[in-house]
């Protein structure tokens, strides 16, 4: 999939690093789909520069400090020489004049927003991953709107770590507590919440504080009266592992909340900026994360059931596939693949059990629900299986696809909902699935067994790069073996 994506975002101690970090997630998803990507910005946080270099993403650092308002002429100069494809703007200093300048220059534009702070927006896609975004009254020349946490853009390591969330333990008392206020210097905010961290329930716990741009000595001084064993982390390379370590987290109401939800970490929130107010309120209303107060902190430390319920609520609203959904929308892809999860059990059963699907399957017998649950759970745990849900860019499930290792071959099966058939979804999904599975099993042949009378599947597989071969007997039925 050809194309170029230019991302403009900045970071500094006073504005934090969240804008750039979520743009890294978008850039990784774009690269995964074959787009050429360039990140461009002012990086006033040293550890973030190291993180960018570690990703291997092309990056152009701009000189100077982050302005209060970016001038359109300066922005266009920064983009000079770039291919006239997509530009992404993520930052509160890019105003409507910048939006118009980009569009008039011939670029397609995606604007990343958090709280509808501008009088108008002018873009091809408007993105806001926060709770309540659907209720905001956006004005201007708008194209597609991608709103809500299902689009939360998380870096690949969070999606890769999501399976570990099912192994999370909920001890009677939270012993491992994480505090994260963001990547900037939030020393003043830490001073304000320090009185909440002197209560006796913290005795016998370990409190790890992600310093961000706060000096370590200052963090230790502010939290000198905290009875927990204090660890100050000045640099974090593996945030998912740190989150899996935590029994409980205290977080600012920014992008970290979506990472915590994705990994099922119980947490409390604190508002440290005006643009976090609706996130903090929304998470509390949904039962995902209470607002940090003396009593709510005590409750979450000492109540395992409260942590268990909060963890489950977070897992339901963020699944880690948001960046892929955004790229699919930008590229006008008919569908994308995400790994199947326990929550998809009923959907897979309904699709597999449809009469038209059973009629062309290896076995035409009905599938009892209890039998399916046992089978499905086993498949998710099987190292020889890769199971995907096919969905459109707005997260509506369209079907499923399963790759099962069988000796030197990998057998693929696919089934779509009635509404998704005859729309090119199957062919696109097969191509993408075969690309993915070859990363796991590069030396194995991918095959499919298709009923001779199933003309629709024969055409879809042929268009996806499969060739028909010999007939085989499968569960008493004659099937044609197609090879990729």
Torsion sign, CA atoms 33, 38, 42, 44: positive
Other Cβ atoms closer than 10 A to 442: 7
Instruction: Quote the distance between the C-alpha of residue 247 and its chain's center.
Output: 22
Q: What is the pLDDT along the chain (484 residues), one digit of tens a residue?
A: 458 999 999 999 888 888 999 999 999 999 999 999 999 999 988 888 888 998 999 999 999 999 999 999 999 999 988 888 999 999 999 999 999 999 999 999 999 999 999 999 999 999 999 999 999 999 999 999 999 999 999 999 999 999 888 889 999 999 999 999 988 889 999 999 999 999 999 999 999 999 988 999 999 999 999 999 999 999 888 999 999 999 999 999 999 999 999 999 999 999 998 889 999 999 999 999 999 999 999 999 999 999 999 999 999 999 999 999 999 999 999 999 999 999 999 999 999 999 999 988 888 889 999 999 999 999 999 999 999 999 999 999 999 999 999 999 999 999 999 999 989 999 999 999 999 999 999 999 999 999 999 999 999 999 999 999 999 998 888 999 999 9
In whole angstroms, what is the distance from residue 294 CA to residue 419 CA?
A: 51
Indicate the pTM of the whole model: 0.91
Q: Is 476 left (phi over 0), alpha (psi -120 to 50) or beta?
A: left
Looking at residue 1, its pLDDT comes to 46
The 3-state DSSP class for residue 177 equals strand
Give me the long-range contacts of 61-70 (CB less than 8 A, separation at least 24).
62/10, 65/12, 66/10, 66/11, 66/12, 66/15, 66/42, 66/91, 66/93, 67/93, 68/93, 69/93, 69/95, 70/94, 70/95, 70/98
Beta bridge partners of 179: 209, 250
Dihedral sign for Cα atoms in the order 50, 55, 61, 67: negative
| Number of Cβ atoms within 10 Å of the Cβ of 194 | 16
d(CA 241, CA 229): 19
Q: State how far the Cα of 167 lies from the Cα of 189, in Å rounded to an integer.
A: 33
């Amino acid at each position: 999939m050809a194309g170029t994506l230019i991302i403009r975002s900045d970071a500094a101690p006073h504005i934090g690093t969240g804008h750039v970090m979520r743009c890294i997630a978008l850039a990784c998803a774009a690269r995964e789909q074959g787009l050429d990507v360039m990140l461009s910005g002012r990086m006033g946080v040293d550890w973030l520069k190291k993180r960018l270099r570690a990703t291997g993403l092309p990056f152009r650092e701009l000189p100077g400090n982050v302005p209060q308002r970016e001038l359109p002429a300066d922005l266009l100069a920064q983009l000079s020489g770039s291919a006239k494809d997509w530009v992404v703007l993520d930052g509160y200093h890019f105003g409507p004049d910048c939006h118009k300048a980009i569009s008039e220059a011939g670029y397609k534009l995606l604007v990343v927003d958090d709280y509808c702070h501008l009088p108008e927006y002018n873009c091809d896609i408007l993105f806001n991953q926060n709770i309540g975004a659907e209720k905001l009254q956006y004005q201007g020349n708008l194209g597609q709107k991608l709103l809500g946490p299902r689009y939360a853009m998380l870096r690949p390591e969070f999606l890769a770590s999501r399976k570990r969330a099912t192994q999370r333990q909920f001890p009677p008392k939270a012993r491992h507590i994480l505090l994260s206020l963001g990547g900037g210097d939030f020393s003043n905010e830490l001073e304000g919440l320090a009185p909440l961290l002197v209560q006796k329930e913290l005795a016998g716990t370990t409190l790890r504080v992600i310093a961000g741009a706060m000096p370590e000595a200052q963090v230790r001084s502010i939290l000198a009266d905290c009875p927990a064993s204090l660890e100050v982390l000045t640099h974090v390379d593996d945030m998912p592992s740190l989150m899996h370590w935590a029994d409980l987290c205290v977080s600012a109401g920014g992008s970290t909340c979506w990472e915590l939800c994705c990994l099922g970490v119980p947490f409390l929130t604190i508002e440290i900026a005006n643009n976090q107010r609706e996130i903090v309120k929304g998470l509390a209303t949904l039962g995902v994360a209470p607002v940090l107060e003396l009593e709510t902190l005590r409750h979450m430390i000492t109540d395992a059931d409260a942590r268990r319920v909060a963890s489950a609520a977070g897992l339901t609203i963020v699944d880690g596939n948001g960046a892929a959904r955004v790229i699919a929308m930008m590229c006008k892809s008919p569908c994308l693949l995400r790994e199947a999860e326990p929550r998809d059990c009923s959907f897979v059963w309904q699709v597999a059990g449809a009469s038209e699907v059973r009629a062309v399957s290896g076995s035409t017998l009905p599938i009892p629900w209890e039998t399916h649950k046992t089978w499905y759970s086993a498949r998710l745990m099987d190292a020889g299986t890769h199971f995907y849900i096919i969905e459109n860019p707005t997260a509506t499930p369209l079907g499923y696809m399963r790759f099962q290792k069988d000796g030197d071959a990998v057998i693929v099966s696919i089934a779509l909902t009635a509404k998704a058939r005859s729309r090119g979804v199957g062919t696109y999904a097969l191509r993408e699935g075969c690309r993915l599975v070859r990363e796991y099993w590069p030396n194995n042949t991918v095959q499919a067994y298709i009923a001779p009378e199933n003309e629709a599947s024969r055409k879809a597989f042929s268009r996806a790069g499969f060739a028909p071969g010999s007939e085989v007997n499968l569960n008493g039925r004659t099937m044609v073996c197609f090879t990729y």
